[in-house]
Amino acid sequence: MGYGMSRPDMDIDMHDTARGGDAARLRRGHGETFDVDNEIFYLTRLRSEPSARVRQGIDGRRTAPISTVRMLSGREANVSGRGRFSSADCSYVLGQYLPVNGPWPVDRMDSRVYVSQFSEDGSLFVAAFQGSRIRIYNVDKGWKVEKDIRARSLRWTITDTSLSPDRRYLVYASMTPIVHIVNMGTAATESHANITEIHEGLDFSMHEDVESIFGIFSIKFSSDGRELVAGSSDHSIYVYDLEANKLKSRFPAHSFDVNTVAFADETGNVIYSGSDDNLCKVWDRRCFVTERQAAGVLTGHLEGITFIDSHGDGRYFISNSKDQTIKLWDIRKMSSGTNCPKTRTSGWDYRYSQYPPQNKHLKHPNDMSVAAYRGHSVLRTLIRCYFSPSKSTGQKYIYTGSHDTCVYIYDVVSGDHVARLQCHQLTVRDCSWHPYYPLLVSSSWDGQITRWEFPGNDAVHATNNKIRGGSIEDQMFRVMYL
């Protein structure tokens, strides 16, 4: 598998760098070390900053910020020679407009919110509550409830949901081996399991190696909508074939609960997993027939992993952990896993107590991560983290929920805190950034779903990526893509 790429120029004058060994390292004030020579930082800047030609034509200075007005003027003057904005130009402009104004309420229920996510096109928003409810909101119609689902056969809570790429089906999981699938194409708003509509059960326990009842923590549709991948409490990863309507494979993946799984890219060949054994693993399904073992292991976390989000390129991903850090990984640094030292803070349980202060800056003896981001709090529940959208920000940010009731936004390259959004009363378990617009939605155990926007406007915007009428601000963001 070839990984060779030419490296674009990267200006690192703004950083305090020191060269040692074979890589340049960036040290930050709180003691974290960034491998700034890693390709991800070059790629992030390449995809989220104007090209040298655009800078030269507009301003001439390498690092000075360029205003939106000057970027638009440069486009009209065709300084790029393309007659339009590149995707990096769009990301640079839109990436300056962070969704930090608000909050404005979307909904509130007397139940903890466990999951909240935009659909891939941003037209729908899914929220799952502990009290057996899932609501699908139509973002383009003023957040109207398009589907109000009452789930069935739950244990404790809805642990995860996933919307198919074509938005026709939604699956939801719980602490049971049965995953239910809902047809989103029906006309009825109310979808009460097996009363108003059938919620077909997909049995993930139908495998010869399954010996006991288990729960599912994480579930994802493949990019073609034909398969589901799930992480479970029996330390395994499951793959379900929706076309054949049967379990395709099960493989023991970790020594503790598999809290999170994610596809590495659109091919669906590679899967990332994270567990309470503190390890992130990479699985290449093309090797399962002969090996049925992880393609590689990445060590660096001191406590269990709560969530993984893929960069989408098959090389990079981030993980949130109970050791109170988000780590950025390059799978080309993974080991075979035969001799991976495990480090665990004994006697501490993230569900019941604060993280020991003396452990906050401990280092793993074999840390393979590219960078670490800290400041948020990962306690009580499997809090989620994500890259910001590719189309509107060039994935230049990382954002996460937090036990301290806030949403944190970090700069990928510098690691700096860019924003801290606070309005909730209890843990923010999940949050989601609109794929095209500066709109972020946070959801909390206080039962509230809240939106944050730029600009600060208490009107409900039509936030579709299609060209149509709307507020002046909406038209300004749409014109980036013309």
Which position has the higher pLDDT, 52 or 406? 406
**Integer Cα distance of 92 and 402 in angstroms:** 27
- 359 φ, ψ to 5°? -100, -5
When pLDDT is averaged across residues 410-432 and rounded to a whole number, the result is 97
Question: Residue written as tokens 């349980």?
Answer: 349
Residue 21's contacts (CB-CB under 8 Å, 6 or more residues apart) are: none
Asked if residue 158 lies in contact with residue 171, where contact means CB atoms within 8 angstroms, the answer is no
Which position has the higher pLDDT, 20 or 134? 134
H/E run at residue 473? helix 472-478
When pLDDT is averaged across residues 312-320 and rounded to a whole number, the result is 97
What is the band of 130 on the pLDDT scale with cuts at 50, 70, 90? Answer: very high
Could you give the strand order of the β-sheet that contains 316-321, starting from the edge strand earlier in sequence?
Answer: 305-310, 316-321, 325-330, 371-374
Residues, the chain, total?
482
Which position has the higher pLDDT, 335 or 57? 335
Report the mean per-residue pLDDT for the chain: 85
Q: What is the token pair recorded at 208? A: 């010869």
Residue 194 above 80 pLDDT?
no
Residue 465 above 50 pLDDT?
no
Residue 377 above 90 pLDDT?
yes
When pLDDT is averaged across residues 230-235 and rounded to a whole number, the result is 97
pLDDT of residue 351: 94
What is the band of 22 on the pLDDT scale with cuts at 50, 70, 90? Answer: very low
When pLDDT is averaged across residues 318-335 and rounded to a whole number, the result is 97
pLDDT of residue 27: 47
pLDDT of residue 339: 58
* Cβ-based neighbour number of residue 24 at 10 Å: 16
Asked if residue 142 lies in contact with residue 183, where contact means CB atoms within 8 angstroms, the answer is no
Q: Tell me, rounded to whole angstroms, the distance of Cα 470 from its chain centroid.
A: 29
Asked if residue 249 lies in contact with residue 240, where contact means CB atoms within 8 angstroms, the answer is no
What is the band of 462 on the pLDDT scale with cuts at 50, 70, 90? Answer: very low
Axis-axis angle for helices 87-94, 68-76 (nearest 10):
150
Which position has the higher pLDDT, 276 or 71? 276
Question: Residue written as tokens 């659909």?
Answer: 119
Which position has the higher pLDDT, 409 or 336? 409
Report for 21-35, 252-266, 448-462: range of highest mean pLDDT:
252-266
Identity (one letter) of the amino acid at 63? T
Question: Residue written as tokens 């960078």?
Answer: 371
**Integer Cα distance of 26 and 18 in angstroms:** 7
Percentage of the chain exceeding pLDDT 70: 83
pLDDT of residue 456: 52
State pLDDT tens for residues 131-149: 899 999 999 999 999 999 9
* Lowest pLDDT segment from 139-143, 193-197, 232-236, 385-389: 193-197
Give, as one character, the DSSP assignment of residue 197. B
H/E run at residue 420? strand 417-422
What is the band of 463 on the pLDDT scale with cuts at 50, 70, 90? Answer: very low
Q: What is the token pair recorded at 261? A: 């799984």
Separation in Å, CA 168 to CA 50, 266, 286: 38, 19, 28
pLDDT of residue 174: 96
pLDDT of residue 458: 46
Written as one string, the DSSP assignment of 122-157 is: SSEEEEEETTSEEEEEEGGGTTEEEEEEE--S-SSS
Asked if residue 386 lies in contact with residue 442, where contact means CB atoms within 8 angstroms, the answer is no
What is the band of 472 on the pLDDT scale with cuts at 50, 70, 90? Answer: very low
Which position has the higher pLDDT, 359 or 274? 274
Residue 337 above 60 pLDDT?
yes
pLDDT of residue 69: 85
Residue 28 above 90 pLDDT?
no
Burial of 275 per CB tally in 10 Å (0-12, 13-18, 19+): buried
When pLDDT is averaged across residues 414-431 and rounded to a whole number, the result is 97
- 246 φ, ψ to 5°? -155, 160
Q: What is the token pair recorded at 402? A: 């937090």
Residue 249 above 70 pLDDT?
yes
What is the band of 32 on the pLDDT scale with cuts at 50, 70, 90? Answer: low
What is the band of 395 on the pLDDT scale with cuts at 50, 70, 90? Answer: very high
What is the band of 291 on the pLDDT scale with cuts at 50, 70, 90? Answer: low
DSSP SS3 for 158: coil
Residue 367 above 90 pLDDT?
yes
**Integer Cα distance of 408 and 385 in angstroms:** 9
**Integer Cα distance of 58 and 73 in angstroms:** 8
Which position has the higher pLDDT, 288 or 15? 288
pLDDT of residue 248: 93
pTM: 0.88
Residue 228 above 90 pLDDT?
yes
